[in-house]
Structure 1
Amino acid sequence: MSVKQIITLKNSQGMKIKLSNWGATWLSCTMQVEGKNRELILGCQSFEQYEQQDAYLGATVGRYANRIANAEIDIAGKHYQLIANQGVNQLHGGKSGFDKKIWKIESQSEQQVTFGLISPDGDQGFPGELKVTASYTLTDDNQVIVEYNASTTKCTPVNLTNHAYFNLDGETNDILAHSLKVNANYYLPVDANGIPCNDLLDVTQDDMDLRQLRVLSDNLLTSPARKITGGYDHAYLLDKSKPVAAQLVSSDKKVTMDVTTSYPALQVYTGNFLANTPNRHNGKYANFAGVALEAQFLPDSPHHLTWPQPSCFLEPGQTYHHQITYQFFIS
């Protein structure tokens, strides 16, 4: 059934999240903060606006999140030309990625929903039929757990993530006064198109260290690395000895979010190009209205097989399984 639907999950604490089978998208996330409902993620007013925006607000992105240089891959000596949708490169799975598909609602309860999708062999240039599920669970201790499973008929790269933009202040300000911590010793330098242009570097280089809570506005555009991308738009290779991948704190210190994940990396994107994206209030977002914390494989991984992470290629007979947990705390 190709009808767009909205599913609402609620927990015993009064937290509520809204999701849609269109793009397996996370539409809304509200909590009671000092007796008032606070919206914690960016979103649009209508499905029409969601279809017009190109910021991937809350969407499940795939078959391969982030960028693949020159929109091409080679597997076992065979060359595959992918669909390019950002210049010569592919971003977030191509022109008609998973974010633009109607997913099947496979199961649903008060606190959990599972969406399913079949991506045919050759979809956006990728080999193999890929069967995918994206599951969202809202727990009674204010965790949003996102789980991805996939299987394929041919070897193919897979990199699924959620592209929610967080604003823990409730959209009243930009996120530049939020504080962020990312437990990562290395980051990946990129060019102006977001394509990796060097090997992993120590975070102490170019002032990219987020190992202690840091206000996002702190020297935002003075770092050589951040000047290139207009803010943070970089993948961090996570320190897997630390249980929490990242922590985000609202500017008023009333809401904290911890991110834990099975993925090897986290893309930090401060919404540097959000301007003119439709918002919920009959207006438009400005740049830096939200920050995306996208757990995933490193960008362009199909071209960098020696990077210190598991393989991004899924083989027939294997099961792709990854999890991202967003834990919210009110103080």
Structure 2
Amino acid sequence: MIDPDASVLLESDDLRVQLLPLGATLCRFEVRLADGSWRNIMLGAPDVDAYRGPNRYIGATVGRVANRIAGARFLLDGTEYRLDANEGPNTLHSGDDGYDARDWTIAGRGPDWVEFALTSPDGDGGFPGTLRLTARYELVPGGAQVTYRGTTDAPTVVNLTTHPYVNVAGEASGTTDDQVLVVHASRFTPTDADGLPTGEVRDVAGTAVDFRAGRRLGDARDGVQAEGIARNRGLDHNFVVDGTGLREHCRLTSADGVTLTVVSDQPALQVYGGEHFDGTQVGTSGVPYVRRAGLALEAQGFPDAPNHPTFPSIVLRPGEEYRHTTSWLVSLASS
């Protein structure tokens, strides 16, 4: 486990959650199993420095705008803003100096909660407006929760997400292919070769990304490749979650019945299969992460929303509050 002096530990009888001020990062999520043993179900790193290197984004808070922005540019109120391009000509997770790479301050803490704070100045990464943010992590019945809040002094765009990689069979158990994913989404947003949304919103019915009734991840990965809708040789898809408000987005279940349920108020869920893991990323327990070692489940706004007027807006204006809540709830087969 990372040095306790460099992290925050929240714990109950059945859950231990470890967090880092670096990136307001969720770096460990341990659940007590029926036999009394503990299982860490989220990927991480053995030391803080790894989060600045090969394990970047794992469990971190990503922003000011998560996911991709085409051409590293967008228009807001008639003004064009140029961003830091870090994935070819495009912006991924707000550039090389996104919020995952920042040292957040601890604004307050208690036995079952901690609140991190960050001020992002006007022009940060090319984005307009000074943005003042908090990320409050807390234990809740059955799991843990984060609530993001933010205000700005000028019109801007905001789309934060937590970027955890989940493996409900255990952080060092290998591929997630045999785990079953349910996503409560009737539609998804197809992408081009660069992972940018085309603007279309397509029904999942009849495709390999129809997870509404549950699907084994290995079968889904084979299916998206066969159908020609794979990204990075597997899953990297944005789902339009059914309903509005705080609701269940998805569930991931291991062969032995450990289930993680993600509940959020966000309009979309990015599901990324961890195709980039190649053994160079060493995990929390010291075991290298193989391809597909974890599944990223990111509740967020639509990718590239500022460049698609038909997508839900991520514009934040002075006098408004950005607020985003996501919970991770755990259940066992016997419960």
Shorter-chain TM-score: what band? over 0.9
From 311, 314, 328, the counterpart of 1:312: 314
Matching residue's letter, 2:318? P
2:98 is matched with: 97
**Distance (whole Å) between structure 2 residues aligned to residue 265 and residue 225 of structure 1:** 22
Pick the aligned partner of 1:274 from 249, 274, 277: 277
Q: Match of 1:185, SS? A: strand
Greater mean alpha carbon deviation, residues 147-156 or residues 269-278: 269-278
1:37: how far off? 1.3
What RMSD, in angstroms, separates the aligned Cα atoms of the two structures? 1.5
Shift of 1:228: 3.6
Unaligned segments of structure 2, at least 5 residues: none
Asked if 1 retains the 8 angstrom alpha-carbon contact of 2:199 and 2:308, the reply is: no
The one-letter amino acid of 2:275's match is: N
Contact 2:250 2:262 in 1 (8 A): yes
Q: 1:228 to 1:43 in 2, by over 3 A?
A: closer
Runs of 4+ displaced beyond 6 Å: none
Q: Structure 1 225/316 Cα, relative in aligned 2: closer, same or farther at 3 Å?
A: farther
Give the SS at the match of 2:323: strand
C-alpha distance in structure 1 between counterparts of 2:282 and 2:154, whole Å:
39
Q: 1:251-296 CA distances to partner (integer Å, 9 max, x unpaired)?
A: 222x111111110000011111122222124342111000011000
Check whether the contact 2:239–2:269 (CA below 8 A) recurs between aligned residues. Answer: yes
Residue 195 of structure 2 contacts residue 231 of structure 2 at CA under 8 Å; is this kept in 1?
A: no
Cα distance in 1 for partners of 2:142, 2:164 equals: 16
TM-score normalised per structure 2: 0.93
1:252 maps to which residue? Answer: 256
Matched pairs, number: 323
Give the gaps of 5 or more residues in structure 1: none
Q: 1:330 aligns to what?
A: 332
1:245 counterpart SS class: strand
* Aligned counterparts of 1:27 and 1:293: Cα–Cα separation in 2: 15
Structure 1 residue 238: deviation in Å?
0.6
Closer/same/farther in 2, CA of residues 283 and 329 from structure 1, 3 Å limit? closer
Distance 1:249 1:189 in 2: 26
Letter in 1 for 2:46: Q
2:232 counterpart residue number: 229
Match of 1:25 in 2: 25
Q: Following TM superposition, by how much is the alpha carbon of 1:18 offset from its aligned partner in structure 2, in angstroms?
A: 0.2
Q: Deviations over 1:225-259 (max 9, x none)?
A: 54343111011001016931111111222x11111
Conservation of the 8 A alpha-carbon contact between 2:174 and 2:289:
no
1:161 aligns with 2:161: yes
Match status 1:110 vs 2:114: no
TM (norm. structure 1) is: 0.94
In the alignment, the residues of structure 1 paired with residue 36 and residue 137 of structure 2 have an alpha-carbon distance, to the nearest angstrom, of 26
Counterparts of 1:55-66 in structure 2, within 5 Å, are 55-66=56-67
Using the TM superposition, give the Cα deviation of residue 157 of structure 1 relative to its aligned residue in structure 2, in angstroms: 0.9
Q: Which moved more, 1:273-282 or 1:123-132?
A: 273-282
Contact 1:178 1:216 in 2 (8 A): yes
Quote the offset at 1:55 in angstroms: 4.3
Matches of 1:108 and 1:243 in 2, distance apart?
27
What residue identity is the alignment partner of 1:91?
Answer: L
1:285 is aligned to 289
Deviation at residue 31 of structure 1 after TM alignment: 1.3
Residue 54 of structure 1 and its aligned partner are, at CA, apart by 5.2
CA distance 1:259–1:225, change in 2 (3 Å)? farther
Instruction: After TM superposition, list the pairs within 5 Å mapping 1:54-203 onto structure 2.
Output: 55-139=56-140, 141-170=141-170, 171-203=172-204
Cα distance, 1:183–1:62 mapped onto 2, change above 3 Å: same
Deviations 1:141-188 (A, max 9, x none): 222111000001111110011001011111213111111111111001
C-alpha contact (below 8 Å) 1:226/1:233 kept by paired residues: no
Letter in 2 for 1:22: L
Summarize the Cα distance change of 1:156–1:222 in structure 2 as closer, same or farther, 3 Å threshold.
same
Quick check: 2:44–2:55 contact (8 Å CA) kept in 1? no
Letter in 2 for 1:326: W
Name the SS of the counterpart of 2:306 in structure 1.
helix
Secondary structure at the residue paired with 1:70? Answer: helix
Shift of 1:50: 1.5
Amino acid at match of 2:188: Y
- TM-superposed CA distance for 1:205, in Å, is 4.9
C-alpha distance after superposition, 1:187-215 (max 9, x if no partner)? 01112321112401000254220111111
Separation in 1 of the partners of 2:291 and 2:275? 5
